Chain A
Amino acid sequence: MKDSAAKRIFITILGWLVALLLAFPIIWMVMTSFKTETDAISTPPLFVWHPTVASYAEVQERANYFSFALNSILISVGGSLLALAFSVPAAYAMAFHPTPRTRSTLLWMLSTKMLPPVGVLVPIYLLFSSLNILDTRGGLIIVYALMNLPIVVWMLFTFFKEVPREILEAGRMDGAGVWNEMRYLLMPLTLPGIASTGLLSLILCWNEAFWSLNLTSSAAAPLTTFIASFSSPEGLFFAKLSAASTIAVAPILIFGWLSQRQLVRGMTFGAVK
């Protein structure tokens, strides 16, 4: 009894210590974003200070922050919707009307995800350049949709497989065709799965930083690229960097927390349950 109480206290302390240590850079970033530049680089670091939102205002003034944020939103939402538009029919076909080739189709789709982006950087860059879609939102939307397509198809497939067959059979008995079956039976039943798949895709698009850094510079640059502009050594603006980073991270952190279960499923292709 005594032993288990001591163990419980030990585990509580250890668990919280680990959690706070891992989250510390994020917590510190949020704290720094509410400091003045002078307070931000004070040594030793300030744990008590006079909070200010001045940095948030300055970030917007200096760099038109919202145009980058808008790019991030449009590109992530656009890329995710485009991926869903291609994936929902495909996942439907494979989950509800499997053929002998379905298995190999799914595995082939997974294998395309294994192509490292850097291996095809040169041709994609040249194609974009000759099509004049470098630094355009449309270009990045296409890349993000294709990049996430295999993950999205897989996640939808696993969700669709969970729809009880009896309901579909009943629909067929009543004479529902493919389209009616989709519209009146599948959509309502699978909407939660489609929504969480879209959410995961949104997170992956929002945080993507290989294609965005290489294919955009200003006009279509999302937040990943904007934050990278703080890497120049002449601009050691800790508070502004923190403020810009905090708004860039906050929405996706909340989405991420909400969708952690689906994330496991999506990113492991159902291999871990």
Chain B
Amino acid sequence: MSSASATSVAVPPRSDTSRTPSMMPLLAPAVGVLLIWSIVPLVMTVWFSFKNYNLMDPTVSGWAGIDNYSYLITDPDFWVSLLNTLVLVGSVLVITVVGGTLLAVLFDQNFPGQGVARLLAIAPFFVMPTVAALIWKNLMMHPIYGVLGSVARGLGMTPIDWFADYPMVSVIIIVSWEWLPFALLILLTAVQSLDREQLEAARMDGAGAFAQFFYITLPHLRRAISVVVMIETIFLLTIFAEIFVTTAGGPGNATTNLAFLIYARALLQFDVGGASAGGIVAILLANIVAFFLVRSVARNLEV
């Protein structure tokens, strides 16, 4: 319909428009603002990371050299936060990729109400992080009033005080719940593009369900899995809201990841220099992953 109406519209000839006009006026605004957005704050972070700068204490000033960095790497909290970051990212990746792959194969099958079931399964991805974290912390994991506590009592076990005894596990559960649907959604799309005749041929040749999965489905998913891993890593490296509303990094520093450490340094201790040095570490970490992600996307890009 739209093409019919488009062709029937009388378009007045424009003699003043060149046939190969420059595209710069169209491209420049987007490139310009992105350039500013990506370079100015980055340069400022680098700059601050070499300065003595405290928002509450004007006597702290001047160049710090590499003091912020040397202070950072001798600070045990930093290494704990780095380890926590890696534990969080690693655990969530394993849970969501393994779980997502299995669920993708499951939801690829035909069963009654499959469409509705799939909508239910992907719903958690659309829940805002602060809601997800607080619902889990209170309605699910609260040792007295939470559903999990009641289930434990029903089974004759002692309810677990999740955030006191297993704070990192609790955060991992919440974040995995948010990202499992993402992995499922991406991997399901990939599974559905699998050549059915290939599976049929394998079945004819006597391949069982496991052989089909490991020799056909899984290799087919390799690319999608790597994309899921990279995109999740970018987001998971800077998980913040879930920690902010549940544990505030604690108890102690048990759930302080790099993002929360930087936030605490900057906006709770007002140490701009130290926080910026931490920011640079976060950027470096993300760049390692980003390099592979951009390369992988580039391979598929047709211009």
**A residues within 8 Å of B by Cβ?**
8, 11-12, 14-16, 18-20, 22-26, 28-29, 32, 40-41, 43-45, 86-87, 89-90, 92-94, 97-99, 102-103, 105-107, 109-127, 146, 149-150, 153, 161, 167, 170-172, 174-180, 184-185, 188-189, 191, 203, 206-207, 209-210, 213-214, 223-225, 227-228, 230-231, 236, 238, 241-242, 245, 248-249, 252-253, 255-257, 260-261, 263-264, 267-273
Q: How distant is the Cα of A179 from the Cα of B6 in the complex, in angstroms?
A: 14
B39: min CB distance to chain A, Å: 9
Interface size range of chain B in the complex: 35 or more
Does B144 sit at the interface, judged by CB under 8 A?
A: yes
Q: Which residue of B lies closest to A13 (CB)?
A: B111
Query: B118's contact among A19, A87, A267, by CB below 8 Å, is which?
Result: A19
Q: Which residue of A lies closest to B47 (CB)?
A: A123
Please give, as numbers and ranges, the residues of chain B lying within 8 Å of A106 by CB-CB distance: 301, 303
Q: Can you list 15 A-B contacts with CB-CB less than 8 angstroms, sorted by A residue number?
A: A12-B112, A43-B153, A90-B31, A106-B303, A110-B297, A119-B45, A146-B34, A188-B2, A189-B2, A206-B128, A207-B128, A210-B238, A227-B245, A228-B244, A267-B186
Q: Which residue of A lies closest to B36 (CB)?
A: A146
| Extra pairs beyond A90-B31, A189-B3 (8, CB < 8 Å) | A19-B117, A29-B135, A94-B27, A94-B303, A98-B303, A110-B297, A123-B40, A249-B126
Q: Which residue of A lies closest to B242 (CB)?
A: A209
Please give, as numbers and ranges, the residues of chain B lying within 8 Å of A184 by CB-CB distance: 6, 9, 11
Q: How distant is the Cα of A124 from the Cα of B231 in the complex, in angstroms?
A: 24
- Given contact pairs A116-B237, A207-B128, A188 touches B303 in the complex (Cβ within 8 A): no
Please give, as numbers and ranges, the residues of chain B lying within 8 Å of A105 by CB-CB distance: 27, 31
The majority secondary structure among interface residues of chain B is helix
A172: min CB distance to chain B, Å: 8
Q: Which residue of A lies closest to B147 (CB)?
A: A45
B101: min CB distance to chain A, Å: 13
Query: B33's contact among A86, A172, A225, A228, by CB below 8 Å, is which?
Result: A86
CB pair A112 B282 closer than 8 Å:
no
The majority secondary structure among interface residues of chain A is helix
Does B95 sit at the interface, judged by CB under 8 A?
A: no
One digit per residue, 1 when the CB lies within 8 angstroms of any chain A CB and 0 when it does not, for chain B 22-47 equals: 01011101110110011011101100
CB pair A43 B290 closer than 8 Å:
no
**B residues within 8 Å of A by Cβ?**
2-3, 5-7, 9, 11-14, 17, 19-21, 23, 25-27, 29-31, 33-34, 37-38, 40-42, 44-45, 48, 103, 106-107, 109, 111-114, 116-140, 144-145, 147, 149-150, 153-154, 177, 180-182, 185-186, 189-190, 193, 223-224, 227, 231, 234, 237-238, 240-241, 244-246, 258-259, 262-263, 266-267, 272, 275-276, 279-280, 282-283, 285-287, 289-290, 293-294, 296-298, 300-303
